[in-house]
Amino acid sequence: MIGIAELRLDGNAVGGLLGELFALDLTATPCTCGGCGAREPMACLDVYVGAGIVVRCRHCDAVMIRIVQGHGRTWLDLSGTTSLQLGPQ
Ligand SMILES: [Zn+2]
């Protein structure tokens, strides 16, 4: 039986996909959690891959980003993220 910790990846796992969508490398992008206010680089977030991709805060486990792809489309839900800081860090 596979435990949930074995399915967890870090934020680098979604860096390539989001990099394609934003035409930027987002792995170092500071992301602010809408649940607890923690601010971490995307590479430090927890990523779960299943039918879609769920990115969770490492501090409070809140869902920060959801990504679903199908039929040539991508749905990106950032409602759990207060901000993404794009540009020079
Ligand atoms: Zn949080």
pLDDT per residue, tens digit, the chain (89 aa), is: 556 666 888 888 888 788 888 888 888 999 999 999 999 999 999 999 988 999 999 999 999 999 999 999 999 999 999 998 887 77
Burial tier of 2 (Cβ tally within 10 Å: 0-12, 13-18, 19+): exposed
Is-above-0.75 flag for pTM? yes
Cα–ligand 1 centroid distance for 39 (angstroms): 8
Cα–ligand 1 centroid distance for 48 (angstroms): 16
Total number of residues shown for the chain? 89
pLDDT of residue 45: 95
Considering all CA atoms of the chain, what is the largest pairwise distance in Å, rounded to the nearest integer?
43
Q: How many Å from the N-terminal Cα to the C-terminal Cα in the chain?
A: 41
pLDDT of residue 48: 94
CA distance 89 to 86: 8
Cα–ligand 1 centroid distance for 40 (angstroms): 10
Cα–ligand 1 centroid distance for 71 (angstroms): 32
pLDDT of residue 4: 65
Q: Are 20 and 76 in contact (CB under 8 A)?
A: no
